[in-house]
Structure 1
Amino acid sequence: MFALQGDVREHLAALRRLGASTLAVRRPAELEQCDAIVLPGGESTTMHKLAVTFELFEPLRERIAGGMPAFGTCAGMILLADRITDGTTDQRTLGGLDVTVRRNAFGRQVDSFEGDLDMAGLDAPVHAVFIRAPWVEQVGEAVEVLATVPTGEAAGRIVAVRQGALMATSFHPEVGHDDRVHGLFVDHVRTM
């Protein structure tokens, strides 16, 4: 679990409820002990800067490029994207997902919302919480779209994707006690 900023505690709790072994990663030595990583929601530019400061950015980028499974939520989705729209001029990503993500696509903090959406691999809708969330504007051929916004002004916008060992959501599945989205990732890691 990338633990420099964001909803670390909530993600760790969800993973533990699913029986996964967890470790808060703040340094390269801790990253070396991980088989997979979760990149939480938070502030993507701050997460990037902290990862560089703590000398975690390049080792993490290399592990992801080498096939380490990763699950990014909200800001974590931005970090996994190959391309960002509306990012800061100095913002870099870890990359790996062949997607273009628009930062803060749904608007400001006051525009945050929640609602139910269908997600591939789940037998019932998931309650999704969007907080200053990104959306996916473009996907490459190898990217599987897992969920889109069902209704409203943003209907059809892509909010969950998977490509190989990488998975990302625009929303915060760690909010609440529905662990099924984390379960999709944990099950995928266990089968690799």
Structure 2
Amino acid sequence: MRIGILALQGAFTEHEKMLSKLGADSFEIRQRADFTKEISGLILPGGESTVMEKLMGESELKEPILQMIQRGIPVMGTCAGMILLAKTVIGGESHLACMDITVERNAYGRQLASFKTESEYGGARIIPMVFIRAPYVANVGQGVEVLAKVDGKIVAVREKNMLACAFHPELTEDTTVHSHFLHMCNTMNC
């Protein structure tokens, strides 16, 4: 199994380390030619969503990413990655617009309002969560499973082959979210 990580901007190196910790092979996606490699799943990391959108356009990556998602290849978006996946973005523009969620950008405030907390994930266990200028999900469409909430706000969701969270699981030692994603890659790529 090989996981591609969009490496244009943001916290992609931290995702590589987490995948390595779990024994999964990963590679960076920086240009269209990188999509010729075998890929079992794709991670859209945290960062700045408008910058990532601009760089995806310049690198001609938007179309191959959308095609992967439409083919059912699993994708995980964290923080800005969640914003990229959302069909509707309050306080910004939608980008890939493929996940039936409405996201509020920078919902928790500026960089100084960043915080750490713990909450239940997937109805199974309590995990640490790091929020940095994070969004949250204001609304979900039919078929979207809510995986986590913090203070009543939705912060992790899954729809078909798409997993998204408002927090940064790659900035903790907990492997729950990445393990969940790798399980999706194993079961959906049979």
- 1:152 aligned partner: none
- RMSD (CA atoms): 1.1
Pairs aligned (count):
183
Deviation at 1:66, TM superposition (A): 2.2
**Conserved 8 A contact 2:90-2:102:** yes
Hey, what's the Cα distance between the residues in 1 that align with 2:35 and 2:11?
A: 18
Deviation at 1:31, TM superposition (A): 2.2
1:50 is paired with a residue whose SS is helix
Is 1:156 the counterpart of 2:145? The answer is no
- 1:142 aligned partner: 143
**Conserved 8 A contact 2:86-2:94:** no
Which residue of 67, 70, 73 maps to 1:68?
73
Hey, what's the Cα distance between the residues in 1 that align with 2:97 and 2:7?
A: 18
Deviation at 1:176, TM superposition (A): 2.2
Deviation at 1:93, TM superposition (A): 1.3
Hey, what's the Cα distance between the residues in 1 that align with 2:88 and 2:35?
A: 24
Residue segments in structure 1 that go unaligned for 5+ positions in a row: 150-154
Q: TM-score, normalization: structure 2?
A: 0.93
- 2:97 aligned partner: 95
Hey, what's the Cα distance between the residues in 2 that align with 1:187 and 1:19?
A: 13
Give the letter aligned to residue 58 of structure 2: T
CA deviation profile, 1:111-136 (whole Å, cap 9, x unmatched): 111100001154x3111000000000
What's the % identity of the aligned pairs? 46
1:3-42 correspondence runs (5 A): 3-33=7-37, 34-42=39-47
Deviation at 1:92, TM superposition (A): 4.1
Q: TM-score, normalization: structure 1?
A: 0.92
Is 1:49 the counterpart of 2:54? The answer is yes
Hey, what's the Cα distance between the residues in 2 that align with 1:127 and 1:139?
A: 23
Moved over 3 A (4+): none
Is 1:2 the counterpart of 2:3? The answer is no
Hey, what's the Cα distance between the residues in 1 that align with 2:71 and 2:105?
A: 26
